[in-house]
Structure 1
Amino acid sequence: MRIAILMTNTDESAFSQQHPKDGEKWKALLAPKRPGWAFTVYSVKDGKFPKNESNYDGWIVTGSPASVHDDAPWIARLLDLITCIEASGKPLFGACFGHQAIALALGGEVGQNPDGWVLGSVEVEATARPPWMEARRFWQYGAHIEQVTKLPKGAEIVLRHEGCPVGGFRIADHVFTTQNHPEMTHDFIAALVEELASEKPADVIEKARASLPLSADNGLFSDCIIRFFEHERAA
């Protein structure tokens, strides 16, 4: 299977340079379980987009500290690409910014979380059970202050957690999203919390630090993503 990873992370800080790029994080999550898959990373935040969408069997839109509402040409271009991918019926997965971008591109809405930042490990409930999901509850790492506030037409909520009613959604069997970060390792989220400690409210950082021993079920959720991409779809 040929997967295109649309890399949206705009963080070019010294902290970011010390850690693997998002494309590498996604490869590390999925490639060990599917060594035969081919992953191609496009740094869309730098204006680098695939020239031929038909070359790929599936798509991943990554997370980013950018907002989907930012006035940046690459975001508008990404939203247009998302609409084309969705229309093709090929599997499209999005995480955090990617989840929000897919929602916005397809007619949903994204706004500020009224409860403020979600940071650290969060317990996620599966509100629906598409064929590629088995667990009813699991843990994921979160890092967001914006979230989907209105679903696109035809979408169904499949995940939620405290302060985030739309923690993930599906459209038929070809779109699947999560507001959180299955690609983040424990070491990375722990380092990120400390990196943000001087910028975010003290109570947010305290809660995030306290949540980290709960870890995240990345292995379980990577299985969900793989099953989503491999799910047999009608021609």
Structure 2
Amino acid sequence: MGKRLLYLGNGRKFQSIAKLDDRFEAWGLKVDRYWAYDGQFPETLKGYDGIFLSGSPHGAYEDVPFILREHDLIREAAELEIPMLGICFGSQILASALCGRDQVFRRTSCEIAYKDLPLTEAARTDKLCRDLVDSAYMFVWHNDEVKAAHPDMTILAYSDDCPNHIWRYKDKDIWGIQGHPEVTKAQAVIWFEENRERMTLDGADIDDLKAQAHEAAEAKTMLTRFAELVQNA
């Protein structure tokens, strides 16, 4: 029996276009799915070997019941030393819960593009980033941001417009990724079209994005490394 992963879906739809919950199962984990956005949470964290936190249309700083409850769950999981990985909003709520509610803020403009995210020196020996060479190439799309200056954060990657794209909490097995390494090339084309109006308002040229759609295979090694870490917990 594979190790147990708690998958918290924070979006309007439980399963995102990336279907990452299914992929975690394909990588050998037993995935327990809860739609946190709809108020679904496990009664206990006992027996979980890892936790994944998905994206959301909300901000981690909002006083929404499920967000407040998820803050408590994250802090409890950190005390229990359960490995955690958050993507986009998942990264932001990890930062908010563990480093303070003022750690996440609304940007004055959206960062939306495929980008090469340069790595810091710390990334070269990091458990998730060590397969990356000089940068992590992926699609990024965010209006909220995690501040980079915090003593409990190790910054692993950044962009020309955001100093904190990938980070680790202290020396714990807890990571946040602001961008979207989980989305495949084929999924990206569908995702961009489905979100044409929102992305256009955020400054993107959807036809250009669709032409640039990329597998981001190297960045995906962070996801498989996390799955391996949980499997070996």
Into which bin does the TM-score normalised by the smaller protein fall? Answer: 0.7 to 0.9
1:7-156 superposed matches below 5 A:
7-10=9-12, 21-22=15-16, 25-32=19-26, 34=27, 36-108=28-100, 109-114=103-108, 116-127=109-120, 128-129=122-123, 130-133=126-129, 134-135=131-132, 136-150=134-148, 153-156=151-154
Match of 1:3 in 2: 5
Map Cα deviations across residues 80-121 of structure 1 (whole Å, 9 max, x no partner).
Answer: 10111111111100000000000000124111223x112242
Map Cα deviations across residues 39-92 of structure 1 (whole Å, 9 max, x no partner).
Answer: 111101111101120121000000111111222111000011011111111110
Map Cα deviations across residues 138-193 of structure 1 (whole Å, 9 max, x no partner).
Answer: 31122211110255542101121231111011021311110012222334333333
The 3-state SS of whatever aligns with 1:205 is coil
Percent identity reads: 24
CA contact (8 A) 1:120 1:209 kept: no
Rounded Cα–Cα distance in structure 2 between residues aligned with 1:193 and 1:23: 10
CA contact (8 A) 1:113 1:147 kept: yes
Rounded Cα–Cα distance in structure 1 between residues aligned with 2:30 and 2:7: 10
Gaps of 5+ in 2: none
The 3-state SS of whatever aligns with 1:59 is strand
Letter in 1 for 2:110: W
CA gap 1:152/1:94 in 2 versus in 1, 3 angstroms: farther
Rounded Cα–Cα distance in structure 1 between residues aligned with 2:5 and 2:55: 16
**TM-score (norm: length of structure 1):** 0.82
Rounded Cα–Cα distance in structure 1 between residues aligned with 2:32 and 2:138: 25
Rounded Cα–Cα distance in structure 2 between residues aligned with 1:192 and 1:131: 29
**TM-score (norm: length of structure 2):** 0.82
How many residues in Structure 1 have an aligned counterpart in Structure 2?
221
Q: Does 1:205 align with 2:197?
A: no
Gaps of 5+ in 1: 12-19
CA gap 1:187/1:119 in 2 versus in 1, 3 angstroms: farther
The 3-state SS of whatever aligns with 2:46 is helix
CA gap 1:69/1:173 in 2 versus in 1, 3 angstroms: closer
What RMSD, in angstroms, separates the aligned Cα atoms of the two structures? 2.6
Consecutive aligned runs of 4 or more in structure 1 exceeding 6 Å deviation: none
